[in-house]
Structure 1
Amino acid sequence: MASLADRMRGNGRIAAGLLLNLLVSICIVFLNKWIYVHHGFPNMSLTLVHFVVTWLGLYICQKLDIFAPKSLPPSKLLLLALSFCGFVVFTNLSLQNNTIGTYQLAKAMTTPVIIVIQTLCYKKTFSTKIQLTLIPITLGVILNSYYDVKFNFLGMVFAALGVLVTSLYQVWVGAKQHELQVNSMQLLYYQAPMSSAMLLVAVPIFEPVFGEGGIFGPWSVSALLMVLLSGGIAFMVNLSIYWIIGNTSPVTYPFPSNSQMHSLLHFPKLCQFISFWSLALTITWPTLSS
């Protein structure tokens, strides 16, 4: 009985983590799109702010004894830190150059790509439950895209790169947590500053730093507040990604991200109906498959 109670509590924590990730992911997509459209804040610079705020948030958590840092060799985290940069930069570029519907449609491909990577590179097999859960989510995304497909070549290039790098990143997050025997906070605490350092080198090459349109340019107070708010939400998104992957698998995380927009976008009732059940299956999947 005690083991059943522990299992139910564990499933409840996973469902809560998925729901939190769903909510903050919805917030950050719309907020970032607002920042790009209304303020024109540069993409890589916004990503750099996200990484720095994430590290500062973890530093505060460490000082409050919420977790204990663990010494990790930088060489073990180099590819993960690089893929973290690519994951955020390319998905933000996809959001910047596509409509939200097209952006979300492209993200739906993350799950099958992860399954292919884990099948080919890690010799992992997936149950029928996982495959069946993909059906309503994919169907909902396709129906949504029918009303919001405004492809442009550059946007689709960024979307494709984002899917590939994101899939690799999510597989490596799970593998590194297992390999190094660390939790989500311990891994992200070391990886976030490494990714920040990489972007510090890249930002001056690809974007202005000072003057109009630069990270240190003459931004309005409202723009700066929106950027800082985006950084705070990014901290919660990044932490919840690591926690979900560490406590489930890389395949579980894309489920809430695939369905996060469906119930909010203004599409016909049939699409909303399917999206509702996609979201329901997404949140309850860890319980059903455990």
Structure 2
Amino acid sequence: MLLNFMSSVSIVVVNKLVMDKYGFHFAVTLTAFHLWSTFFLLLLTAKCGVFEIKRLPVRDVAKLAAGTMGFICLTNLSLQHNSVGFYQVMKVMTTPTVVIIEALLYQKYLENRLKLSLLPVCLGVILTTVTDFRLNLTGTIYAVAGVIVTSFYQIWSGTLQRSLDCNALQLQTYVAPLAALFILPLMPLLDQYDMNDLHSIWYYNLNVQNGAVIALTGFFGFLVNVSIFLVIGRSSAVSYNILGHCKTVVVLMSDFLLFGRPKSFKSSFGIVLTLVGVFWYTSLKLEKARVEKEARERAPSPKSVDDDSLTRHEEKIDVRSGSREE
């Protein structure tokens, strides 16, 4: 969770710098670069013995790869066409969307007290960002589509690791290159690739400075993609979203410091309210985990139950017939 926190905050800040300060307005191409960076760095880590590549059914992984493509692509497009504030408002809506999808499609219901703890989280982020709305139709469409796709992506990330019996690195080794291939047809459609246009990617002034920052986004993209699977595989999609809201607060603080966002009482109160909700939800989850652990420790193991049943059965035979014992 610490790895995901640090890398996710870093990639939002660095991506925004690449798009705004260095003028690289090609979000889909940047997404493809992040995916290929993830794949090649995974091959390097596997070569170093960090993990062993496992054969997985491509058909099963393809669904998650499509979700990965949509998740990263729509997130980058939303960040490109919206302010950081509206971008974060729409990201926070992923949490209730995950809860609704899991209830409707997977019959997985969240406890009422956990649902209640989500309210200050959502309200806090909305309060923090509501003063920064600069709505536009294109950006809103990308943001709404991103919420839906991201919700399914997060749910599938956890279920697929368990169903295929693989770890996060093994799964991401297949997902990243497939998602990068899926995104190829979208690059000339959503980014400017016209050779006759001076604002196209072919005329971008790539130099050592902006090239190094773009390369840094690829490294952070690798860390984000891997850590998402690690967190969701060991917790849940909702827990991952709560971690996301902690990241939201830090990203918004960076917005104040780096991008000149005006400070206000409403924004500050929203940050505090978000943190209250995060701590509340975390304490409830820890309490629930402690109760479940104590219940497992008190419950007899299946083997001991079988042994007790056998002993009682033998005692009954001894009482009813001594000849059976002989």
CA-atom RMSD in angstroms: 2.1
What one-letter code is carried by the residue in structure 1 that aligns with 2:224?
Answer: V
**What's the counterpart of residue 21 of structure 1?**
4
Q: Structure 1 CA distance, aligned partners of 2:281 and 2:41?
A: 28
- Aligned to 2:249, the other structure's residue is in SS state coil
Q: Is residue 239 of structure 1 aligned with residue 222 of structure 2?
A: no
CA distance in 2, matches of 1:247, 1:67: 17
Distance 1:132 1:39, change over 3 A: same
Q: Match of 1:151, as an amino acid?
A: L
Q: CA deviation at 1:31?
A: 1.2
**Partner residue in 2 for 1:40:** 23
Q: Deviations over 1:239-278 (max 9, x none)?
A: 1110011001111111121232324144423233223334
Q: Once structures 1 and 2 are overlaid, which stretch shifts more, 225-234 or 135-144? A: 135-144
Aligned partner of 1:59 in structure 2 is 43
The correspondence for 1:184, drawn from 147, 156, 168, is 168
Which stretches of structure 1, 4 residues or more, deviate above 6 A after TM superposition?
none
User: How far apart, CA to CA, are the structure 1 residues paired with 2:114 and 2:281?
Assistant: 10
Which segment drifts farther, 51-60 or 19-28? 19-28
Q: How does 1:93-172 map to 2 (within 5 A)?
A: 93-172=77-156
Q: CA deviation at 1:217?
A: 4.6
Q: Tell me which residue corresponds to 2:53.
A: 69
Sequence identity of aligned pairs in percent? 32
Instruction: Classify the secondary structure of the residue corresponding to 1:20.
Output: helix
What residue in structure 2 maps to residue 88 of structure 1?
A: 72
Deviations 1:136-176 (A, max 9, x none): 21121121123212222211111000000000111111111
Q: Measure the CA separation in 1 of the matches of 2:11 and 2:280.
A: 23
AA aligned to 1:243 is: L
The structure that has the greater radius of gyration is 2
Which runs of 5 or more residues in structure 2 are unaligned?
257-262, 290-326
Contact kept? 2:126, 2:270, Cα under 8 Å: no
Gaps of 5+ in 1: 1-16
Q: Which residue of 2 aligns with 1:199?
A: 183
> 1:116 deviation in Å?
1.1
Secondary structure of the corresponding residue to residue 138 of structure 2: helix
1:79 paired residue number: 63
TM-score normalised by length of structure 1: 0.87
User: Structure 1 residue 281: deviation in Å?
Assistant: 4.4
Do 2:245 and 2:274's aligned partners in 1 also have CA atoms closer than 8 Å? no
Q: Is the 8 A contact 2:38 2:176 kept in 1?
A: yes
Alignment: residue pair count = 273
TM-score by length of 2: 0.78
* C-alpha displacement of 1:209: 5.0
Larger RCO, structure (CA 8 Å, separation 6 or more): 1
* 2:201 alignment partner, SS class: coil
Moved more, 273-282 or 99-108: 273-282
Q: For 1:195-222, what per-residue CA distance to the aligned partner results, in whole angstroms no more than 9, with x for missing partners?
A: 1112233323443458653278541222
**Structure-2 residue corresponding to 1:4:** none
